[in-house]
Structure 1
Amino acid sequence: MASPHDLKRGVGLALEGDWDGAHAIAQQNESDPLFCWLHACLHKIEGDHGNSRYWYAKAGRRFEDFTKAEDELGAILASLT
């Protein structure tokens, strides 16, 4: 089962530009809202807005809440503390 440590690692990979690595981590726990939020953010970065909106809904979040990926990834990290 994926852990908060895994989520932090996924965010770190996303910030480093490793979309594939971050995406693999986001997919580890598709029932956890925080992992779904990371998944949503990654698809937003990718430009797949339809898929992104699906994951935002699963996360209980809104696509429109952030315009900058770095800010959103930072918010994901902040939610872990």
Structure 2
Amino acid sequence: MTLKELKETLIYSSPPENSSVHIKALWYDAKGDWRLAHDLIDHLEDPTSAHVHAYLHRVEGDLWNARYWYKKAGQPEFKGTLAEEWEYLFYLLRD
């Protein structure tokens, strides 16, 4: 799925069924449902989930928590905009 195709699905009430949990979290974030996006990955411990988790806490404005999750992910703190990080994560994670 391309970035354009994923963005086109934002008119629907649920993400594409065959998407990973990480892409679904990004999708819900793009729809403005931070809580559901966070709930999808909050319980996951792998580095990929930690990276998405860091981004979501950055969206929330909780930079201390975001930094904690970037460290858990083994990733540097993202310095670009939230939109840039969202797209970066999409390309990193796309199915």
Measured against the shorter chain, the TM-score band is 0.7 to 0.9
Question: Contact 1:34 / 1:76 at 8 angstroms: preserved in 2?
Answer: no
Question: Who is 1:23 aligned against?
Answer: 38
Higher helix share: 1
**TM-score, normalised on structure 1?**
0.83
Alpha-carbon distance in structure 1 between the residues aligned to 2:31 and 2:79: 19
> After the TM superposition, which segments of 4 or more aligned residues of structure 1 sit over 4 Å from their partners?
none
Alpha-carbon distance in structure 2 between the residues aligned to 1:45 and 1:19: 8
Alpha-carbon distance in structure 2 between the residues aligned to 1:76 and 1:69: 10
CA RMSD of aligned residues (A): 1.5
Structure 1 gaps, min length 5: none
**TM-score, normalised on structure 2?**
0.72
Number of equivalent positions: 76
Alpha-carbon distance in structure 2 between the residues aligned to 1:80 and 1:42: 15
- CA deviation profile, 1:22-50 (whole Å, cap 9, x unmatched): 100121412x1111011101111111111
Structure 2 gaps, min length 5: 1-18
Q: Is 1:67 aligned with 2:80?
A: yes
**How do 1:9-20 and structure 2 match up within 5 A?**
9-20=24-35
Deviation at 1:80, TM superposition (A): 2.2
